[in-house]
Amino acid sequence: MAKLKFLGKNLKRKNITKIGKHSIVSNISQNILNGPMRGWLCGHFYPKNSAFHRKDIEICLKVLDLNTKEEEHFHLCSFEFLLVLDGEVEYCIGGKKTKMKPGMFYFLEPGGTEFISKVIKKTTILAVRLPSIPNNKIFTKKLNKKNE
């Protein structure tokens, strides 16, 4: 189960959400971190009747374990911002490996490639992508196979 040091004992099993006329107040929960949304706080992939269904933005709080890896990819139409909150991770951004520690971040424009090449220490990240568009993530490996 993902644990976030800065949440301490405040990490509840489920989220409690209060919806106002122009606002939403909620909490990070074990269900958000470890349930079907895997750390995603909002985005197009939430059910349409959910307060967290958004087309304009995606926000994710995720804990990366030591064995976490991903394939190189890019987003066709989305800008991405990622901030390392805790730990140490090596990303390959635009073909260049970059070790990232707490307080470091990157911005990617649509079409910019990235992937996690190695988690050096268990890492907590906050990612923001906008807008939130279905089928926007393109894996370069699959793209290269189509072009062969």
Tens digit of each residue's pLDDT, the chain (148 residues): 455 666 666 678 888 899 999 999 998 888 888 888 899 999 999 999 999 999 999 999 999 999 998 999 999 999 999 999 999 999 999 999 999 999 999 999 999 999 999 999 999 999 999 999 999 999 998 676 666 6
Query: Which residues, other chains included, contact 11 with Cβ-Cβ below 8 Å and sequence gap of 6+?
Result: 3, 4, 28, 29, 30, 33
Residue among 115, 119, 128 at smallest CA distance from 70: 115
Please give the Cα distance from 90 to 95 (Å, whole number): 12
Provide the pLDDT for residue 3: 57
Provide the pLDDT for residue 1: 44
Longest dimension (CA), the chain: 52
Please give the Cα distance from 9 to 48 (Å, whole number): 31
CATH superfamily of 5-147: Jelly Rolls (2.60.120.10)
Q: Which residues pair with 108 in a beta bridge?
A: 80
